[in-house]
Amino acid sequence: MQGNQAQRFPVAVLEQKVAAALRGAGASEASLAAAVRAMLHASLVGVDSHGVRLTEHYCTMLGGGRLNKNPQLKVDVRGPGSAMVNGDDGLGHYAAYKAVDVAIELALEAGVGAVGIEHSSHLGAAGAYALAGAERGFVTFATTNTDSMVALFDGAARFHGTNPLAFAAPVPGSKPWLLDMATSSIPMNRVLLHRSLGLELPAGVAADKDGRATTDPQAAEMLLPLGGAEYGYKGAALAGVATLFSALLTGTTLDADFIPMYGGPGGDISTPRNMGHFVLVIDPDKFAGRDLFGAMVTRYLASLRGAPVREGAERVMAPGDREWEEMARRQQDGVPVDPDTARFLGL
């Protein structure tokens, strides 16, 4: 490893190293398997900020007591199409994948399955859970709110979290349609990644302690909402959608009330954060029918990808196309890992 350059490693090696690190931190086999699955998804599709680089953070929180090493998940079905999952303060990936399973069971009967999650923790990339539902044939939505780190439009202080919205849909004979987006300009973990790599941030994505835009990752104290200086009110409002589903409907924690992800006042890494998440699963069979839905989504995507291209552009891409191409490259060439994470994993 030289300088601040990322080095690539085979997926199988990363899977083994990440699992061993979490196991060494005391995580149960069931909960660590979910975390490894979600982190490798993120690393493979190019969401490095939520990939294997989070292993050290999760190990720290397991060691500090914030995360329950052996969570016992509880499911409380509240109605024909609704339920709550209690994550028992364990790794959030474990509770989130469980919520997808529960939501699918509900949707098979009711057509839709809406599952809130309480007493959970950071779950990584929300797209991992939307994808889990789509791979089983269901249209799926997943979201979470997080601790305040994004300014409001024209604001000068942190208010919302990065609050991702993820949607996925099955496509016959193909990878799912997948949208996984933060409602901030970028996730805070991207700032941390740029710090690790010594890279400047793009313009218009982060601000200093006074709310002024900055490209210096060391000076960045908050993020800017999606949409930039002119249209950031859209991103700020969408962040509220994540809070509505993840915190208000589940009765968990508002963005501004979270203990910070990387340690609260006095470096608190022992108090659980009671994070809330939300998963919605829809069964196409209970609407237009799975066959018709499959034919229409195939036709829709063919039309989208065949749309006219502006001068200088190569092609139009559907949500997920870039991710699946990146996954194929990384499966062949290896997954890039930043120097700090490589050292922690012993690579």
**From 20-34, 166-180, 181-195, 299-313, the region with the lowest mean pLDDT:** 181-195
The answer to whether the CB of 177 falls within 8 A of the CB of 191 is no
Mean pLDDT for all residues in the chain? 94
Nearest to 275 by CA among 138, 79, 157, 126: 126
Asked if 157 and 222 count as a contact pair (C-beta separation under 8 A), the reply is yes
SS3 195: helix
pLDDT at 189: 73
Is pLDDT at 106 greater than 80 in this prediction?
yes
Residue 79 has pLDDT above 70, yes or no: yes
Rounded-to-integer distance, Cα 124 and Cα 82, Å: 24
Name the CATH topology of 71-289: Ribosomal Protein S8; Chain: A, domain 1 (3.30.1370)
Residue 21: closest CA among 8, 43, 39, 42? 39
What's the whole-number mean pLDDT along residues 125-137? 98
What the block records as the tokens of 15 is 């899977």
Q: What is the pLDDT of residues 41-62, one digit of tens each?
A: 999 999 998 999 999 999 999 9
Evaluated on CA atoms 23, 91, 267, 192, the torsion sign reads positive
Retrieve residue 89's tokens: 């303060």
pLDDT at 1: 37
pLDDT higher than 90, residue 196: no
pLDDT score of 91 more than 50? yes
**What's the confidence (pLDDT) of residue 264?**
67
Asked if 91 contacts 34 with a C-beta cutoff of 8 angstroms, the reply is yes
**According to the model, what pLDDT value does residue 192 have?**
82
Cβ neighbours for 312, distance < 8 A, ≥ 6 positions apart: none
Task: Please report the pLDDT score of residue 120 as a whole number.
Answer: 98
Distance CA 248, CA 162 (A): 16
- Would you say 7 and 335 are in contact if contact means Cβ atoms under 8 Å apart? no
Category of 346 on φ-ψ map: left (φ > 0), alpha (ψ -120 to 50) or beta: left
pLDDT-derived band at 266, boundaries 50, 70, 90? confident
Residues 223-265 have pLDDT tens digits of 999 997 788 999 999 999 999 999 999 999 999 999 988 876 6
User: What integer pLDDT is reported at residue 3 of this predicted model?
Assistant: 45
pLDDT at 4: 62
Query: What's the rounded mean pLDDT across residues 190-219?
Result: 89
Quote the pLDDT of residue 323.
Answer: 98
Q: What is the pLDDT of residue 267?
A: 80
- Alpha-carbon distance 194 to 172, whole Å? 38
To the nearest whole percent, how much of the chain has pLDDT over 90?
A: 86
User: Helical H runs in 46-154?
Assistant: 55-64, 92-110, 127-134
* Residue 36, token pair as written in the block: 């490894």
Asked if 108 contacts 21 with a C-beta cutoff of 8 angstroms, the reply is no
Contact 185, 196 (CB under 8 A): no
